[in-house]
Amino acid sequence: MDTDVEDADRTVGLNLLAPIELCRQALPGMIERGRGHVVNISSTAGVGCWPGIATYCATKAGLTQFTAGLRADLKALPVGTTLVEVHIVPTEMGDELAAYGPTAAADRRMRRMGVLTHVDLEKLVQATVKAVAKDRRHLRRPRRASLIATISEAPRRSTEWIIAGVPPREE
């Protein structure tokens, strides 16, 4: 296990429970105003778990799934969602990941294979603003990670297709 119970609680609280609670508090006002957009920041770690960060990966997978459910709940309402799935942005957290050998080795291997690369924060911010303006459901960076995320997303998209005719909300 990659963490003690206090660290696990903190990670779950920050990465999963806080975004859920923020959405719960912000959405009524957005719906009442007739406009709004939720951006949730997830990770490529939400679609593929690496050694040393199991709890983090679980929270990001949960946030990805929550955002898909939120999108279904908001269907036919004037409030959009964008899920940002991003690989490592050079930050203090990235430095911490690099300090744990197996996690760093997984990152090096993925970069060597050309599957992933580190993401520039300024470019990520600009791309996120554009994704919201275009009402895109996903933004994945680096783009080359999209294939992995798309494959893991197939069950969610299949479910959306199956329940397409189901009313999204009870009035």
Q: Annotated active-site positions, please?
A: 56
Dig out the tokens for 94 from the structure. Answer: 């990235």
* 37 vs 44: CA distance, rounded Å: 22
* 135 vs 71: CA distance, rounded Å: 12
* CA end-to-end span of the chain: 45
Asked if 66 and 41 count as a contact pair (C-beta separation under 8 A), the reply is no
* 108 vs 87: CA distance, rounded Å: 12
Q: Which helix (H) or strand (E) holds 36?
A: strand 36-43
- For 80-106, b/e burial (b = at least 16 CB within 10 A) is bbbbbbbbbbeeeeeeebeeeeebeeb
Asked if 97 and 45 count as a contact pair (C-beta separation under 8 A), the reply is no
